[in-house]
Amino acid sequence: MIATQTITPRLERSYARLGVLLIAPTILVFSLVIVYPLLAAIYLSVFSIYTPTLEGNFVGAANYVKLLTGKAFWNSLGVTLIWTVGTLTLQIVFGVGMALLLHQNIWFRSLARSLVLFPYFLSTVVAVLVWRWLFNDLYGAMNHGLMQLGILDLPLDWLGSMPNAMIGVILVGAWKYFPFVVIAVLARLQTIPEHLYEAAKIDGAGPIARFWDVTLPQLRNVLVVIVLLRAIWDFKEFDLIYLLTGGGPVTSTQTLSLLVYQEAFGLNQMGQAAAYSVGMMLVMLVFMVVYIRKTGKEG
Amino acid sequence: MADVTLTNVRKQFGTFVALENLDIEIKSGEFVALLGPSGCGKSTTLRMLAGLEFPTSGDISIDGRVVNDVAPGKRDIAMVFQSYALYPHMSVAENIAYPLKKRGVSAADRKVAVQKAAELLQLEPLLDRKPKQLSGGQQQRVALGRALVREPKVFLLDEPLSNLDAKLRSYMRAELIELHRRLGKTMIYVTHDQLEAMTMANRIAVMHGGKLQQFDTPDAVYNRPANRFVASFIGTPSMNQLEGQLDGALFHVAGHSIPLDRTRFADDLGTGDYALGVRPEFVAIGDGELPAKIRLVENTGHEQIVTLELTDGTRLLARTDAARRLDVGQNVQIGFHPDAIHLFAPGEEGPRLNKNDAASVIPMRSR
């Protein structure tokens, strides 16, 4: 007994050393690419800096005062929330619907399952260029088609006017990212025991009752994770919106990411941009905390 | 309470024939076990009764009504699944009340019904728990509660005890027998465990390869098996079946002859190949003319299962008192109790050729 008591801690110490050694590279990379930029952003945010020269002077909380009192941040936060809620809702509705469809024994199911992933795998730049062509008010296929069908009398300015621009961005976002929802929901659907449906049938539940009482409760956990993850990703979406509308018309589709970019590289105000990004990070922290608490409970 | 009848039912999955010409008539209030090895078609039969599968041809009727095209929820049946299939997000009370809710029973009436079921199954302290928080036996009782709460005409049970440990299984077996006695409902019970079928059922439908082999009382399937399959499937250890030749009143096996009482068997049996069946408890060691060697002795505490080898290498089992001293390698003479001998036609499902009145029910002690 005595021998094992002295040996075990030594063994444990060596295991602990090995553990530290194995985790070290991760911590190092994490520090370099996450912690350092984060701290640098906070540091920059208390300066007024001219981007091309990266020179400037300490201004204290002035950038944050402007953030709180000015319109830009709040306007963009509103735009970001509309975009996030709008595109996420469509992603969930289309994603769950498509997953339910692909879960049925339909013809060409495996082909359809691969095809549905197409928008997700397509490069954003390519996808957005195609969409811009479709949306074009002069020669776009969208206007052409809608006019042929008699739904529109005159060509519509899809991306240059509101609320069309926001609707366009939300639709393209939903199209691009709903396959993620399909994959996650479909994977979960396949694990729902068939017996639950059979029991519900015998208990007298029709197809709609079976969806509400069996399918949806089983999807609940995966939907919580999907909603949180997609909310975080959509909240900080940049390339899709930037390429599609550039934040316009004026600032009506300028989300927080675009605001930060505009401030840093359009207006050359690196310090102010850093302050906006810190503000954005604080908002995202709320999502993060919810996500960590939700997923932590599962584990 | 209701009669359940299957008339000439056939079920095909693609080209695979799962069931062939199945005719079963179950009387109201009966406890019937569908027994057979996996793939015999017993679960398919039950699922067709439930409406989860549809017969390729033939009729299924419950309480005199043909239900071939009736949805599961409208057949007035309840089913207990092997996996229990409880709704994981609902509490025990909600699970039990669910079939009533789907039938538009008011909340107050549901509560009364749930309370009644919970009392019957001793689930009262668990009503607010989720299925995940229950043991296997408790989940099993909730599944039973959900089945009996709306008082269906027929209960269908699909291997409901097979996920329980041995001790709990024997306890739940007794509970189910008691439940059937109290409710007096028709119960149809699928199992591959002959012990469950023998102890619980009024009648057993033994199935094999999609065909009904025998449908009779536990006593009959044990003592008067319809064919070689039933004889070998029912009983542990199973019946010895020795392949040999019949010649008049003599059965030739392993170079020796066993005299038979021909009046016990069908009169028109010609000379040729047959199988002689005898249960291990009717093989007498040290009392007979057939020489054999003891190959293995398994003492279970209250009895011994003895593996014997005849001179031609054929093996058979005997069951004896645990107190008896037997050594491996010992040469013995064995004999069969003359009233316990069955004769079968050759082949896996060769029919039994004893006269029906020749009931081979012999008290164990007389061997």
Structure confidence by residue, pLDDT tens digits, B223-265: 999 999 999 999 889 999 999 999 888 999 888 889 888 888 8
- Residue B113 contacts A where some CB pair is shorter than 8 Å: no
pLDDT of residue A184: 93
Closest residue of chain B to A198, computed from CA coordinates: B52
Identify whether the C-beta of residue A215 lies closer than 8 Å to the C-beta of residue A188: no
Label residue A162 left, alpha or beta by phi (over 0 means left) and psi (-120 to 50 means alpha): beta
DSSP A190: T
Distance (Å) from the C-alpha of residue A198 to the closest C-alpha of chain B?
A: 7
Pair A260, A277: CB distance under 8 Å: yes
Q: Assign 3-state DSSP to chain B and report helix, strand, coil percentages, each to 5.
A: 30, 35, 35
CB contact residues (below 8 A), chain B span 138-197, against chain A: 146
Model confidence at A198, pLDDT cuts 50, 70, 90, reads very high
Q: Which residue among B83, B89, B102 places its CB closest to the CB of A203?
A: B102
Q: How many CB atoms lie within 10 A of CB B285?
A: 20
Residue reference for tokens 């005719």 = B23
Kindly report, residue by residue over B299-347, the tens digit of the pLDDT. Answer: 988 999 999 999 989 999 999 998 888 999 999 999 999 889 999 999 8
User: Do A205 and B146 lie within an 8 Å CB cutoff?
Assistant: no
State the residue for tokens 């709306």. Answer: B150
Report which secondary-structure segment, H or E, holds B286.
strand B283-299
Question: Token pair of B244, please?
Answer: 């040999």
Say yes or no to pLDDT of A66 above 90: no
| Interface contact A198-B88, CB threshold 8 A | no
Output the six-digit token pair for B344: 């079968």
* DSSP alpha helix (H) spans, chain B: 42-50, 92-102, 107-120, 136-148, 166-183, 194-200, 218-223, 228-233
Q: Using the beta-carbon criterion (under 8 Å), do B146 and A203 form an inter-chain contact?
A: yes
Name the closest residue on chain B to residue A221, using Cα atoms: B89
- Taken in order of first residue, the domains within chain B and their CATH numbers are 4-228 (3.40.50.300), 239-366 (2.40.50.140)
Q: Give the residue-averaged pLDDT of B175-179.
A: 89
Across the interface, whether the CB atoms of B85 and A205 are under 8 A apart is answered no
C-beta atoms of B85 and A195 within 8 A: yes
In B, minimum Cα distance to A205 occurs at B102
CB contacts, 8 Å: B83 with chain A: 193, 195
Cβ contacts (< 8 Å) between A200 and chain B: which residues?
87, 98
- Sequence-separated (6 or more) residues with CB below 8 Å from residue B163: B82, B83, B84, B136, B140
Mean pLDDT across A27-35: 92
The Cα of A193 is separated from the nearest Cα of chain B by a number of Å equal to: 8
Give me the half-sphere count of Cα atoms (radius 13 Å) on the Cβ side of residue B105. 20
Domains annotated for chain A, with CATH where assigned, are 2-44 (no CATH), 71-298 (1.10.3720.10)
Testing the interface with B: which of A194, A202, A216 to mutate, by most B Cβ within 10 A?
Answer: A202
Question: What CA–CA distance (Å, rounded) separates A253 from A270?
Answer: 21
CA-based nearest residue to A204, from B154, B103, B247, B190: B103
Looking at chain B, the whole-number percentage of residues with pLDDT higher than 90 is 58
Closest chain B residue to the Cα of A213, Cα to Cα:
B87
Q: How confident is the model at residue A297 (pLDDT cuts 50, 70, 90)?
A: low
Minimal Cβ distance to B81: which of A199, A206, A214: A199
Q: Mutate one of B47, B80, B91, B101 to test the A interface: name it (highest A CB count within 10 A).
A: B101
Chain A contacts in chain B segment 10-49 (CB below 8 A)? none
Distance CA A58, CA B202 (A): 93
pLDDT at B218 over 90: yes
Q: What is the pLDDT of residues A140-192, one digit of tens each?
A: 788 888 888 877 777 777 777 778 889 889 999 999 999 999 999 999 999 99
> Is A260 exposed, middle or buried (CB count within 10 Å of its CB: 0-12, 13-18, 19+)?
buried
Q: What is the rounded CA–CA span in Å between residue B216 and residue B203?
A: 5
Running DSSP on this structure, what letter comes out for residue B239? P
To which residue do tokens 């047959």 refer?
Answer: B274
pLDDT at B356: 67
Considering chain A, what percentage of its residues have pLDDT values greater than 70?
96
Rounded to a whole number of angstroms, the distance from the CA of B52 to the nearest CA of chain A is 7
Mean of pLDDT over chain A:
87
DSSP code per residue over A258-272: HHHHIIIIIS-BHHH
What are the residues of chain A with a beta carbon less than 8 Å away from any beta carbon of chain B? 193, 195-196, 198-206, 209, 213-214, 217-218, 220
Residues B261 and A107: their CA atoms lie apart, in Å, by 66
